[in-house]
Amino acid sequence: MKKIAVIGSGAGGLITSSKLAKDLSKEIKNGEVSIMLFDKKREQEFQPGYLEVAFRGTDPAKIRRPMKKLVSEGVKIVHDNCEKVDLPNRYLKTEGSSEKIDFDYIIISTGSSPDYDQVPGLRDANMDFHTDAYNSSLIYQQVLKIKSGRIVVGIGGLPYKCPPSPNESAFMLDEHFRKAGIRDKVEITYITPFTRIYSADSINEVIAPMYKDRSIESVTAFNTDSVDASKKEITSLEGETMKYDYLFLTPPHKPAEFLKNTELSDEDGWVKVDKRNLHITDYDNGFAIGDTTNIPISKAGVEAHLEGIVVANNIIAEIKGTEKRYKFTGRTQCSMETGFHKATFVVGTYDTPVQKITPSTFNYMEKKVMEKIYWGSLHGHYEWLFKYHFKKDYFEN
Ligand SMILES: Cc1cc2nc3c(=O)[nH]c(=O)nc-3n(C[C@H](O)[C@H](O)[C@H](O)COP(=O)(O)OP(=O)(O)OC[C@H]3O[C@@H](n4cnc5c(N)ncnc54)[C@H](O)[C@@H]3O)c2cc1C
C-alpha cells in the first residue's frame, strides 16, 4: 500500500488530493493506495473574495464552504494539524495525537498567513483583508463610516500573498468614495517598499497613470518599520513618518509554525524546493506547493494549482510505473481589479517577463468566471478548461 499524506486542505492541497484520487481511483479501490489530507479547519474560504467583503460589503457566508463538501471521494480528511514531519524516517505527527503516521509520499501545502509580530504597533492600528472573511467584513463596516480623512493602504511588509491585492484595495476604495460622492473629502495614499507602484515594470506602466488620474497618492520605497496607533503615525525604515486616519495595510506573511527551524525550511520557515519539480531539497518522496514554498515568485492560488498538478502527475506516474515526468514553468496569473468593472492580469513564467496587459471589462469578466468555477476546480472539475487556458504552462513534459 502506497500512503500519500497531504498537509493543508487549502487551494493547493484540495486540488492535488482531488487529482490524485481521480487518477488513482482504481488503486484506491484495490487497497493499493491511500490518501490522507490533514487540516484542523472545518470550512474553507475563497480568499480572493476578501476584497469584495472588505470593500463592497459581500456577506462573508457567500465565500465560505464546509470542508466536507470540498474533499473528493477517495480522500480521507483528518481534522488535525500537522506538528512534525520526519522526511528521512517517513512519518508525521499531528497536534492532537502522539501516534506516528507513516507515509510514502508527502505534499506540504500549508499556505501563508499574516505575521503581525514583524511590525511593532501594526496589530493595534491596522485592519487587514488577508486574515479571513470576518476581519475583512470589519473593514467594510469602517469604510461605511468614513466621511473624510486620510486612508493609508498598501504593503506593510514582505512577503505577502496575491501581489496585486494591495493595489486592488486602493482602486476599490477610490470607486467606493466616488460612488458615494465624497471622493474629494477622502485622501487615499498607497505605500510600498518597492521603488514603483507595482514591482513589475510592465504592470507599473499600466497602473501608475491610473493612480494619477484617480488622485491616489503613492509613496514608494517606504518600508514600514513601526506604527504608533495612539499618534496615528507610521514610520518607515528610511526614517519617514506618515499620518493616517484609517489604516488598511497588507501585513507581512509567515509560513506554518511547525516548519520553522527545521531542515525542510530556509531561515524564515519557507520550505526549500526545486522550483521545477517541487521536490523538497534532497528528498524524492517529499514535495511542497503553493504559498509555503521558498520559490521567489508570487504567492497565489494559480501557482498552488499548477504546482499541485505537476506534483500529482509525477506521483501518479511513479505509482503507475510510467516514464513521463512533469515540471512547473513558473506560470503566474493574478488578476488585478482596477475598479469600475475593469481588470488586468499579472502573467509571466520563469522564462518570460510579466506581460503588459491593459485593463479591460473582458479581463474583469474572466476574473468573475474564475470565481464562479473556483469551488468546482478544487474537485478537479474543469481540467479541460485549465489545460486549454494554460496550454504548455499547465505543466511542462
Ligand atoms: C485578498 C486576497 C486576494 C487574492 N487573490 C488571488 C487571485 O486573484 N488569484 C490567485 O491566484 N490567488 C489569489 N490569492 C492568493 C490565494 O488565495 C493563495 O495564494 C492560495 O490560497 C494559496 O494556496 P495554498 O494551498 O498554498 O494555501 P491556503 O489556500 O492558504 O491553504 C493552506 C491550508 O493549510 C492549512 N494549514 C496551515 N497550517 C497547517 C498545519 N500545521 N497542518 C495542517 N494544515 C495546516 C490551513 O488551515 C489552510 O487550510 C488571494 C489572497 C488574498 C488574501
Q: Is 20 part of any domain?
A: yes
Ligand 1 atom with minimal separation from the 50 CA: 1
Q: Tell whether 161 and 203 lie within a shared domain.
A: yes
Q: Is 162 in the pocket of ligand 1 (CB under 6 A)?
A: yes
pLDDT value, residue 222: 98
Assess whether pLDDT exceeds 90 at residue 395.
Answer: no
Q: Is 361 part of any domain?
A: no
pLDDT value, residue 397: 79
pLDDT value, residue 282: 82
pLDDT, the chain, mean: 97
Domain at 37, CATH number: 3.50.50.60
User: What's the gap in Å between 70 CA and the centre of ligand 1?
Assistant: 15
233-236/224-228 β-pairing: antiparallel
Average pLDDT over residues 247-253: 98
CA angle 17–18–24, rounded 5-degree value: 85
Over residues 81-133, the pLDDT tens digits come to 999 999 999 999 999 999 999 999 999 999 999 999 999 999 999 999 999 99
Q: Tell whether 94 and 203 lie within a shared domain.
A: no
Q: Tell whether 99 and 157 lie within a shared domain.
A: no
Average pLDDT over residues 169-193: 98
Q: Tell whether 192 and 274 lie within a shared domain.
A: no
Q: Is 167 in the pocket of ligand 1 (CB under 6 A)?
A: no
Over residues 285-321, the pLDDT tens digits come to 999 999 999 999 999 999 999 999 999 999 999 999 9
Q: Tell whether 29 and 6 lie within a shared domain.
A: yes
Q: Which of 7, 47, 83, 377 to mutate to test the pocket of ligand 1 (most atoms within 8 A of CB)?
A: 47
Q: Whose CA is closest to atom 9 on ligand 1?
A: 334
pLDDT value, residue 92: 98
User: Quick one: which of 367, 128, 98 has its CA closest to 250?
Assistant: 128
Q: Tell whether 122 and 86 lie within a shared domain.
A: no
Q: Is 301 part of any domain?
A: yes
Q: How many helices (H) and strands (E) does the chain have?
A: 10, 21
Q: Tell whether 302 and 265 lie within a shared domain.
A: yes
Share of the chain above pLDDT 70, in %: 100
Q: Which of 263, 297, 325 is the last residue before a domain boundary?
A: 325
Q: Tell whether 9 and 107 lie within a shared domain.
A: yes
Q: Which domain holds residue 157?
A: 115-253
Q: Tell whether 208 and 121 lie within a shared domain.
A: yes
Q: Tell whether 278 and 249 lie within a shared domain.
A: no
Q: Is 340 part of any domain?
A: no
Number of domains in the chain: 2
User: What's the gap in Å between 291 CA and the centre of ligand 1?
Assistant: 7
Q: Which of 253, 278, 301 is the last residue before a domain boundary?
A: 253
Q: Which of 134, 291, 371, 390 to mutate to test the pocket of ligand 1 (most atoms within 8 A of CB)?
A: 291
pLDDT value, residue 236: 98
DSSP for 304-322, written as a single string: HHHHHHHHHHHHHHHHHT-
How far apart CA 316 and CA 24 sit, in angstroms, is 7
pLDDT value, residue 4: 98
Which conformational region is residue 84 in: left (phi greater than 0), alpha (psi within -120 to 50 degrees), or beta? beta
Q: Is 316 part of any domain?
A: yes
Q: Tell whether 264 and 285 lie within a shared domain.
A: yes
Q: Is 50 part of any domain?
A: no
Average pLDDT over residues 312-333: 96
pLDDT value, residue 102: 98
Over residues 20-63, the pLDDT tens digits come to 999 999 999 999 999 999 999 999 999 999 999 999 999 999 99
How far apart CA 287 and CA 285 sit, in angstroms, is 7
Assess whether pLDDT exceeds 90 at residue 140.
Answer: yes
Contact 254, 244 (CB under 8 A): no
Confidence band for 361, pLDDT divided at 50, 70 and 90: very high
Q: Is 358 part of any domain?
A: no
Q: Tell whether 245 and 138 lie within a shared domain.
A: yes
Q: Is 199 part of any domain?
A: yes
Assess whether pLDDT exceeds 90 at residue 396.
Answer: no
Assess whether pLDDT exceeds 90 at residue 227.
Answer: yes
User: What's the gap in Å between 44 CA and the centre of ligand 1?
Assistant: 10
Q: Which of 253, 269, 289 is the last residue before a domain boundary?
A: 253
Q: What does residue 12 show for φ and ψ, rounded to 5 degrees? A: -65, -45
Q: Is 306 in the pocket of ligand 1 (CB under 6 A)?
A: no
Assess whether pLDDT exceeds 90 at residue 146.
Answer: yes
